[in-house]
């Protein structure tokens, strides 16, 4: 049995790991990947100590720092459930493994939200993409749709107007991104906006052929011929495995006190999976540190 299990290998989880290791806690870190959401970020200009650094590069540095310490790591493995046991907690993973610890820090982060419409899953990687900077160049000269009204969707649209034939921007709400981006996108002459429109279906068999949308007000439906669809409709917390054990708010985020406590003794949470107001690398790292220190104090009291 471990003293501490940390679930998640992003900035919160890795920082927690370093703090826990320095307190000489017998720790296991379980994570599907090392770096989490930061891996999808290209340039970072607001993580102190680096005027500019690539996401992957920064996470490599985090990983190197974690590996300075003797702690166990399981990667490529996702925690699928967490339950309370006599002496603490048991985490089960999608590989059928189970691990026990006296205390747990959940730092599982967030993932891109899906539309949940017919065709989306089937055509993922075949015209449906959640990574515009990755797959954008594949759709040069084609018609594409960017879905969403925030900065990510606007950035995808802005990237694509330069290389695609025509870009449709489809948003359920009026645009919510930064005005500077909205102005940029509006100035493009090959972009058409469908605001307050919902996506009903993604069409195509072996690759995307089109998209069906509906005007929320007039209920008018229309089909757009597109070969690529960039879905940028925000993020959702990876909190499903912890539903029964940790308190969640209306957004599915784990509710924590200012000291990262969930209200369940020995169970802490940190970073983007929680209800902390700002989702930033530097904030998540700080939260991970706080959670590990609090967990250490909890374990100290247990052994007293």
Partner 1 sequence: MAREVKIYTTPTCPYCKMAKKFLDDNGIKYQEFNIVEDKAAREEMKSKCTSLAVPTICFDSEVLIGFNEAELREKLGL
- Just list the catalytic residues: 131, 134-135
Q: What is the per-residue DSSP string for 234-299?
A: -EEES-GGGTTTS-B-TTSPBP--TT-B-SSTTEEE-GGGB--S---HHHHHHHHHHHHHHHHHHH
Q: Which is nearer to partner 1, 23 or 124 (CB)?
A: 124
Q: 57 or 178: whose CB is closer to partner 1?
A: 57
We find the least distance from the C-beta atom of residue 198 to partner 1, in angstroms, to be: 24
Binding site residues, partner 1, CB under 8 A: 32-33, 35, 39-42, 55-56, 75-77, 95, 124-127, 129, 131, 133-139, 206-208, 227-228
What is the nearest approach in angstroms of partner 1 to the Cβ of residue 42? 7
- Nearest CA to 36 out of 16, 55, 21 is that of 55
Give the chain's largest Cα–Cα span.
70
Which two three-digit tokens encode residue 122?
A: 């089937």
Report in angstroms how near the CB of residue 78 gets to partner 1 at its nearest: 9
The pair of structure tokens assigned to 301 is 């009291």
**CA separation for the pair 246, 236 (Å, rounded):** 16
Residue holding tokens 């406590």?
A: 261
| C-beta of 77 vs 198, nearer to partner 1 | 77
Task: Identify which of residues 231 and 295 has a Cβ nearer to partner 1 in the complex.
Answer: 231
Cβ nearer to partner 1, comparing 109 with 266:
109
CB 251, min distance to partner 1, A: 25
DSSP tag of 128: E
Kindly state the smallest distance separating residue 210's Cβ from partner 1, in Å.
Answer: 14
The C-alpha atoms of residue 165 and residue 227 are separated, in whole angstroms, by: 11
Both structure tokens of 27 = 């720790």
**How big is the CA angle at 218 (ends 223 and 157), to the nearest 5 degrees?**
50
The pair phi, psi for residue 161, each rounded to 5°, is -60, -25
Nearer to partner 1, 93 or 274 (CB): 93
Distance between CA atoms of residues 129 and 115, nearest Å: 11
The structure tokens listed for 137 are 């160049």
**Contact at 8 Å (CB) between 59 and 38?**
yes
Please report how close the Cβ of residue 114 comes to partner 1 at its closest, in angstroms: 14
DSSP H or E segment with residue 198: strand 197-204
């Amino acid at each position: 049995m471990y003293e501490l299990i940390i679930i998640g290998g992003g900035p919160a989880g890795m920082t927690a790991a370093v703090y826990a290791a320095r307190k000489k806690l017998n720790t296991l870190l379980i994570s599907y990947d090392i770096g989490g959401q930061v891996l999808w970020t290209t340039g970072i200009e607001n993580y102190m100590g680096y005027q500019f650094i690539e996401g992957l590069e920064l996470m490599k540095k985090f990983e190197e720092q974690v590996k300075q310490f003797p702690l166990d790591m399981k990667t490529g493995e996702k925690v699928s459930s967490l339950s309370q046991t006599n002496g603490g907690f048991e985490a089960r993973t999608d590989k059928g493994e189970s691990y026990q610890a006296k205390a747990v820090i959940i730092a599982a982060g967030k993932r891109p939200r899906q539309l949940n419409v017919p065709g989306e899953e089937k055509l993922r990687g075949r015209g449906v993409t959640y990574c515009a900077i990755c797959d954008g160049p594949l759709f040069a000269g084609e018609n594409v749709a960017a879905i969403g009204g925030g900065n990510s969707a606007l950035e995808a649209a802005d990237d694509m107007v330069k290389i695609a034939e025509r870009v449709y921007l489809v948003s359920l709400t009026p645009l919510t991104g930064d005005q500077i981006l909205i102005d940029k996108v509006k100035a493009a002459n090959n972009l058409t906006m469908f605001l307050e429109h919902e996506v009903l279906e993604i069409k195509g068999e072996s690759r995307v052929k089109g998209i069906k949308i509906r005007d929320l007000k007039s209920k008018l439906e229309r089909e757009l011929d597109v070969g690529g669809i960039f879905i940028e409709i925000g993020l959702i917390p990876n909190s499903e495995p912890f539903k029964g054990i940790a308190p969640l708010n209306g957004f599915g985020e784990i509710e924590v006190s200012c000291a990262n406590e969930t209200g369940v003794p020995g169970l802490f949470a940190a970073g983007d999976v929680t209800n902390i107001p700002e989702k930033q690398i530097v904030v998540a790292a700080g939260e991970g540190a706080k959670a590990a220190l609090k967990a250490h104090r909890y374990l100290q009291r247990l052994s007293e």
